[in-house]
């Protein structure tokens, strides 16, 4: 098992390649949760995520003979860029196997760090298997994204930085996918302060650590279903399972809709853009039952494409009640649209979109369905709008995020 000085040495090893991401105090999340909340922005690392820490630490510790052989990894995201940059810094050949569907922007970003990129297979597992074949054939050293002690050691340097800035932190919230990040943070933090609580945060649709704990051993989920693709791991690492079992105090799960809301708050209030997996630890703040605690949320990464950002903001506005979408059945006669517009104007709701459909409501022949999208000030404003429609004899149906494309 690692000792505290192992993490201190790793931190020294990483000192020339990582950005020291300072804690950001969040008055917004502190007020919302009744705790003293800080954000650790690992999305500001050069590769856009914490992965450079573990990758560099692992590669830097290889023997000279291993370095001459070069390294290989399989990844569709952040690990690829971490390994590529680490290898470039150390002057070592790197081969990254990525699934064929990997967005071109990620492929190019990895190539820009000097790695040879091979596209193979439809899914991550196919890419992983091909990378292992190449490792056997060419003699490369395989760099696992999480199931590796040297990788865990590198990720644990985050805890040293957190506790240097905030020695009396009570809780650290950590996104949990394969388990490498939380393994390192949990052990390093407990070595510094055995009383600190480490809480993992998994997406509801990929809760592989909770499944392993319930089973008493690592188990593979039949599928994953989450927008937090960076943590969409069907099976956590066996090594990581031991760390989680021994050093992690609790695991919280988060829905995609909770992620959307937290993503919006981060963008709007902190001007921080994080990837969906990175937002998990912020979304979990509301599920902490304790009050008055010093809590650090680890923002693990920020590699997200512009189209996804747009979609997340729109859906986050809806979840937050800042965009209100509803449908109302109207008699098919003149003047009804004007009446609806008048109510919304009186309630100071800014109309974004109206969709008038004569053919949608087939079960009521003389009615038409009107779908309305308005900008509001939040739930209280929405309640006032709904009450006013009700007073005027209209029945409106709120459309939730699941009904919005």
Query: What residues does 355 pair with on adjacent strands?
Result: 371
Give buried/exposed letters for 279-307 (b at 16+ CB in 10 A, else e): bbbbbbbeebeeeeebbbbbbbbbbbeee
Separation between Cα atoms, residue 114 and residue 110, nearest integer Å: 7
The radius of gyration of the chain from alpha carbons, rounded to an integer in Å, stands at: 24
Separation between Cα atoms, residue 402 and residue 405, nearest integer Å: 8
Long-range contacts of residues 330-339, Cβ cutoff 8 Å, at least 24 apart: 330/367, 330/368, 330/369, 330/370, 330/394, 331/366, 331/367, 332/358, 332/366, 332/367, 332/368, 336/368, 336/370, 337/370, 339/392
Could you say which of 40, 51, 190, 315 is catalytic? 51
Q: Which residues contact 347 (CB under 8 A, 6 or more apart)?
A: 381, 384, 385, 388
Separation between Cα atoms, residue 311 and residue 250, nearest integer Å: 31
In this structure, what are the phi and psi dihedrals at residue 349, rounded to the nearest 5 degrees? -100, 125
Q: Alpha-carbon dihedral of residues 200, 273, 37, 183, nearest 10 degrees?
A: 20
In a 10 Å sphere around its CB, with 0-12 CB exposed, 13-18 middle and 19+ buried, how is residue 165 labelled?
middle
Q: What 3-state DSSP class applies to 323?
A: strand
Separation between Cα atoms, residue 124 and residue 144, nearest integer Å: 13
CA 201 to chain centre: 10
Q: CB of 320 within 8 A of CB of 378? A: yes
**Residue 397 is among the residues annotated as catalytic for this protein:** no
**Residue 390 is among the residues annotated as catalytic for this protein:** no
- Helices 180-192 and 238-247 meet at what angle, rounded to 10? 40
Tokens 């188990």 belong to residue: 219
Separation between Cα atoms, residue 303 and residue 286, nearest integer Å: 24
Separation between Cα atoms, residue 236 and residue 215, nearest integer Å: 13
Could you say which of 26, 208, 300, 327 is catalytic? 300
- Residues annotated as catalytic are 51, 300
């Amino acid at each position: 098992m690692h000792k505290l000085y192992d993490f201190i040495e790793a931190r020294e090893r990483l000192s020339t390649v990582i950005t020291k991401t300072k804690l950001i105090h969040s008055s917004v999340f502190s007020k919302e949760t009744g705790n003293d909340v800080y954000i650790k922005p690992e999305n500001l690392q050069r590769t856009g995520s914490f992965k450079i820490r573990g990758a560099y630490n692992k590669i830097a510790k290889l023997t000279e003979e291993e370095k001459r052989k070069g390294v290989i990894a399989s990844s569709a995201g952040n690990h690829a860029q971490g390994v590529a940059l680490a290898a470039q810094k150390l002057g070592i050949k790197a081969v990254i196997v990525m699934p064929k569907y990997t967005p071109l922007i990620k492929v190019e970003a990895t190539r820009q760090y000097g790695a040879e990129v091979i596209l193979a297979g439809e899914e991550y597992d196919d890419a992983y298997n091909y990378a292992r074949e190449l490792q056997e054939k060419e003699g490369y050293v395989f760099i696992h994204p999480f199931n590796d002690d040297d990788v865990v050691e590198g990720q644990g340097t985050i805890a040293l930085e957190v506790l240097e800035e905030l020695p009396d932190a009570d809780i650290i919230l950590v996104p949990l996918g394969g388990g490498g990040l939380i393994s390192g943070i949990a052990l390093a933090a407990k070595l510094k302060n055995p009383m600190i609580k480490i809480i993992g945060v998994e997406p509801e649709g990929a809760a592989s650590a909770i499944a392993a704990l319930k089973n008493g051993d690592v188990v593979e989920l039949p599928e994953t279903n989450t927008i937090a693709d960076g943590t969409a791991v069907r099976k956590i690492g066996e090594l990581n399972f031991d760390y989680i079992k021994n050093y992690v105090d609790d695991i919280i799960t988060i829905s995609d809709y909770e992620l959307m809301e937290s993503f919006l708050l981060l963008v709007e209030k902190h001007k921080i853009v994080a990837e969906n997996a990175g937002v998990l630890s912020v979304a979990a703040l509301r599920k902490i039952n304790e009050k008055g605690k010093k809590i650090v949320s680890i923002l693990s990464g920020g590699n997200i494409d512009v189209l996804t950002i747009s979609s997340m903001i729109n859906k986050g506005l809806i979840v937050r009640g800042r965009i209100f979408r509803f449908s109302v059945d109207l008699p098919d006669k003149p003047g009804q649209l004007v009446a609806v517009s008048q109510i919304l104007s009186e309630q100071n709701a800014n109309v974004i979109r109206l969709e008038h459909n004569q053919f949608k409501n087939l079960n009521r022949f003389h009615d038409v369905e009107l779908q309305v999208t308005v900008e509001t000030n939040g739930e209280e404003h929405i309640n006032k709008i709904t009450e006013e429609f009700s007073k005027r004899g209209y029945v409106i149906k709120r459309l939730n995020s699941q009904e919005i494309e």
